[in-house]
Structure 1
Amino acid sequence: MKKNEWLITKTNEYIQSRLFLKYKFNHAFYTRLNKSSKPNKLIKKISNCCSIHQLNQVHSKKVIKTTELNEFNLTQADGIISSNIKDQSLWIYTADCIPILIADTKTGDVAASHAGWKGVCNKIIKQTIEELELSGSERKNLIVALGPSISLSKYTVKDDVLHLLLRSINEKNINLSIKSDLFKLKEGDILVDLKKFAYKQLIKEGITGENITVSNYCTFLDEELFYSWRRDKMKLFQWSCIISGNLNK
């Protein structure tokens, strides 16, 4: 969880994971400096020959393949995986939730998921991994990047949400008064680290720690770089994308 695991362009337009670059997966977590740019414009910053695939996100655990998208790219879901085809760019948007990118270092298949607390509680991570397996992936070959999202110090939730999050990692009877890296009680508020819940889910799904990279950027605190729903109270967001490869051919 170190910032040196990540690169940011000199113009601060997008962030990339060194782990994904090591395996030659083209990707980007775009910042607010791209203003209102959409995928058909943003893709030109990293590639010139990709098809574009995006979703109508609804805070669900539904994950679909690119072949299941309707012609207007408006299918309701929160996760998308490539279809054994090179140069498919998969897009999700966030503004405090976690953008999650997954890549198979053997087949070249990729996935992108959007996970707020509802997605984490509903185990969209598990669902995405299982859909990749149905397409021929093995968990030992998967690498995962958890992109910029809101951090513990700024993410307050209700008591029932905390208990749902704890249940999602099989921590049903945890003592809320004990010290935890997952949550903190402060002046009557409950603060949670959503990325750590997502990380623990990945570990439970058999993804090794060395194959997971977590961005320390906070969408709330890093105001010059990111929009934040909790901070701005406006529906503004930044895009994230990953491009499929053909490593097995």
Structure 2
Amino acid sequence: MHTWRWHNWEGLPYLSCNILELWPHAFFTQQFWPRPPQELVNVLQPDASVYRLQQVHGNTVLTPQEVDYHLSTSEAELALADGLISEQPLQAVWVASADCTPVLIGDVQTGQVAALHAGWRGTAAKIVPQAIARMQSQGSKLENLRIAMGPAISGEVYQVSVDVAVEIGSTIVPDDHPEKMIAGLHNLPNSPLFADPQPDKVRLDVRRVNALQLDSLGISPEQIAIAPYCTFQHSEHFFSYRREKQKKVQWSGIVSV
């Protein structure tokens, strides 16, 4: 089992996971709001260059070079995407989340890292497999990846429409017949679906869907760690958009070595 540890910085709590112990990284709590990554990087590695995005619930994954190019050719302050992959050492890549899954990835051979924002839409569009394909194009091998999914809304409390479950479920149980697909998802060992009292609703574990996508790529469970924290239920540490309907976030970041 992978261990998640609480740390303190100036009296404020944040999480790390031993699966990513080779890299400075953190899943920050709501107590750090509204500090931006440019400040938070001091907790991890003050010398690192900071890269962040304007997240749009898609599956676009960029490199720092692409972010810099975008900023040099556009009026926009931030590039639109939901994932970042480092290209050199000392690059800090960041994502923000408030119920969606923050995913941090490190490669034990190359030292490169990725930070991804995987909500249900990004997961339905396979953002994590997309990012891993890009890492492979930069020399990564699947067996060298270490993947941590941070605090996010858990399946027990995340109510979605059956249509949403079908859209996201098609990434792991391909079936043109929605009812058959939902049945197939329910029948999986450690299913990502839970029953809901409302007839056209189910409860969905997005992190579990991402784990199943990783499994279908051939990544072993030992390479994956999932935080035992729910943003909705652990209100003392995390914002939840579902719970509070406020536009606040917690940041997650990792630095390449």
1:184 to 194, 198, 202: 194
Q: Which runs of 5+ in 1 are unaligned?
A: none
1:109 to 107, 112, 123: 112
Residues 68-96 of structure 1: CA distance to partner in whole angstroms, max 9, x if unpaired? Answer: 0034761111111001x111000100000
Q: Which amino acid aligns with 2:140?
A: S
Q: Which amino acid aligns with 2:91?
A: Q
Q: Secondary structure at the match of 2:181?
A: coil
TM-superposed CA distance for 1:164, in Å, is 1.1
Q: Secondary structure at the match of 2:225?
A: strand
TM-superposed CA distance for 1:175, in Å, is 5.0
Q: Which amino acid aligns with 1:130?
A: A
Q: Indicate conservation of the 8 Å contact 2:173/2:181, yes or no.
A: no
Matched with 1:29 is 27
Aligned counterparts, 1:57-76, within 5 A = 57-69=55-67, 70-71=70-71, 74-76=78-80
Q: Indicate conservation of the 8 Å contact 1:53/1:73, yes or no.
A: no
Q: Within 2, Cα distance between the matches of 1:96 and 1:12?
A: 20
1:211 to 209, 223, 231: 223
| Residue 205 of structure 2 is aligned to residue 198 of structure 1 | no
Q: Within 1, Cα distance between the matches of 2:122 and 2:237?
A: 24
Matched with 1:131 is 134
Q: Within 2, Cα distance between the matches of 1:76 and 1:137?
A: 25
TM-superposed CA distance for 1:115, in Å, is 0.6
After TM superposition, the score normalised by the length of structure 2 is: 0.89
Q: Indicate conservation of the 8 Å contact 2:83/2:116, yes or no.
A: yes
Matched with 1:20 is 20
Q: Which runs of 5+ in 2 are unaligned?
A: none
TM-superposed CA distance for 1:165, in Å, is 1.6
TM-superposed CA distance for 1:171, in Å, is 4.5
TM-superposed CA distance for 1:107, in Å, is 0.5
- Please tell me the root mean square deviation across aligned C-alpha atoms, in Å: 1.7
Q: Within 2, Cα distance between the matches of 1:229 and 1:198?
A: 20
Q: Secondary structure at the match of 1:57?
A: coil
Q: Secondary structure at the match of 1:89?
A: strand
Q: Which amino acid aligns with 1:186?
A: D
Runs (4+) off by over 6 Å: none
1:122 to 122, 125, 131: 125
Q: Secondary structure at the match of 1:114?
A: strand
After TM superposition, the score normalised by the length of structure 1 is: 0.92
Matched with 1:221 is 233
Q: Which amino acid aligns with 1:32?
A: Q
